[in-house]
Amino acid sequence: MTFAPGYLAEHPLPPGIAGALSLSGYQLLVDVAGVGAGRLGPQAFLVLAADPDPVLPDAGTQISLHQTKLRDEREMAGFVQLAAQLGYLRLSGYRLALERAGLRSKIRLINPATGAIAAQIPDKHPGRLLGGGTSAATLLAAVRGLAPAGPPPDLQSPEQLRQVLLALALRDDTLGGAEAAELADRALTLVVQNPSLDPVAALEAAK
């Protein structure tokens, strides 16, 4: 399943969930393949569109890894980069299986080639006392080490290619969200002009 750019902006969290969690009017900071990072004040979280299941009704957009008290901006950057990486892995073939836990959802990242669970993300950020080594940053480090599940995404599709470029641009800790989006747009122009460029080379050339 491929989610078009801007999918989460057009399909936000249901009003009932957003209201119950005091997240009405949250800001969506990134949206790659139906995976995003949201923020409202000191709260940060992942926002995800569930894979469609013909057996079940539409599960809608869901929230995961909800943290109610950010400590600093570096933590927020971890949420943005984690969302982008999960979106990139989804584009490469991984599945994101969501399991409801009250108002929020747990995520299982599944490699379809093996059926194995490659990573699990809790519905709530465990915080300092209960979290141990779990955080957006540690989860990001774990999923960045995963090999693609299958062939590269269809880079002949400009929409998919831009999402790939944005996800890769957001790996750069020195770039903010707007800067990464501008870099992805410049890189997309270069690839259109020279299709032999791979996404990483296009981003380097666009800097």
Nearest Cα residue to 167 out of 61, 82, 55, 58: 82
What pLDDT digit, counting tens, does each position of 43-100 carry? 999 999 988 776 666 778 999 999 999 888 888 999 999 999 999 999 888 999 999 9
Distance CA 74, CA 72 (A): 5
Q: Which two tokens stand for residue 84?
A: 């982008």
* Domain residue spans of the chain: 7-151, 152-207
Whole-model pTM over 0.95: no
- The answer on pLDDT for 1 being more than 70 is no
Identify the three-state secondary structure at position 54: coil
HSE toward the beta carbon, residue 178, CA cutoff 13 A: 0
What pLDDT digit, counting tens, does each position of 109-129 carry? 998 888 889 999 999 987 655
Q: Please classify residue 88 by burial: count the beta carbons closer than 10 Å to its beta carbon, then call 0-12 exposed, 13-18 middle and 19+ buried.
A: buried
